[in-house]
Chain A
Amino acid sequence: MGDWEYTVLVLQKVADKYPWGDDFAYLLKTEPNPSDLDGNDALDYEEKTGITDTSEASQIDKTFVHDALVDLNRELSNYARAVVQVGVARTGGTDGNIYFTKATFTLGYVDEAGTFTSIASADGTPNFSTNSTDYQLCSAQAYITIPDNTIIYPANRIALKVECYGYRATTEHGKMKLCCSRGSYDSYLDFFWRYV
């Protein structure tokens, strides 16, 4: 059994996918991507344009998967902390507000078929708003309580499902982005784990 190790898994996006399940482009990585990966700025965020909901609704829903390079049993600590940086901006012309109300983090794993199974979840509720036409950023975080003796087996990969909730003022239009910049720690999951 190994010692407990503090681990930060950073949310990153790639073009050449991790071959697990149906292949994953949204990854949890122990180190961020190179900041110039593929010369592709679109890897730095996941964007939802054309927000039409006028009450709180899920706008961005992505599952990030640990791109483990070796198959090992990994026991997880009692708590994990998830952080996401989100931007919102209005795209209409009525000077109305766009809201980023909540981030729901669900910690779990994906099996070899790519199916996600939940272990535990928690919400961060920033209740952020802006009338800006330029993206305004706001981070949300939450502590996830993990049941005792939770082990991620070699047939699975630890995964974090991130749902970003928001809405627009009745007369306005808006957009939202989840930041996962190459070369930085915009959004991440931190916890302890050990090999068992």
Chain B
Amino acid sequence: MKVKEYKRTKNKLGGVHVEEITKEVPDPVDHNKIFLAKFKELIIRQKKIAEKVGVTE
């Protein structure tokens, strides 16, 4: 994703110049999404184990 940053320097008139810099950065980590995926994986594993040991409930 693209983000904007602002850098302040002195300009040729002796005043302040605000430079806009656009940067490409990695997308932010969606912790909820990761947790949900792991949770689903855990449920599937539990089901498989339950089938192996013959637990129906």
Q: Interface on A for B, CB 8 Å cutoff? A: 97, 99, 101, 125-134, 136, 138
- Say yes or no for B11: interface residue by CB 8 A criterion: yes
Which of the four size classes fits the interface of chain B? Answer: 10 to 19
- A130 in contact with B13 (CB, 8 Å): no
Chain B binding surface SS class: strand
A128 contacts across to B, CB distance below 8 A: 11, 15-18
- B19 in contact with A127 (CB, 8 Å): no
- A127 in contact with B11 (CB, 8 Å): yes
Per-residue CB proximity of B1-21 to A under 8 Å, as 1/0?
Answer: 000101000010111111110
**B19 → chain A, closest Cβ, in Å?**
6
Q: Taking A128-B16, A129-B11, A129-B15 as given, write out 7 further A-B residue pairs in contact, using a Cβ cutoff of 8 Å, ordered by the A residue number.
A: A97-B11, A99-B13, A101-B13, A125-B15, A130-B20, A131-B19, A134-B4
Q: How long is the Cα–Cα vector from A128 to B11 in the complex, in angstroms? A: 8
For B19, the closest partner residue in chain A by CB is A131
| Given A127-B11, A129-B11, A134 and B20 contact (CB-CB distance below 8 Å) | yes
- A132 in contact with B20 (CB, 8 Å): yes
**A141 → chain B, closest Cβ, in Å?**
14
B18 contacts across to A, CB distance below 8 A: 128-132, 136
- B6 in contact with A127 (CB, 8 Å): no
Contact among B6, B11, B14 for A136, CB-based, below 8 A: B6
- A127 in contact with B13 (CB, 8 Å): yes
| Given A132-B6, A134-B4, A127 and B20 contact (CB-CB distance below 8 Å) | no
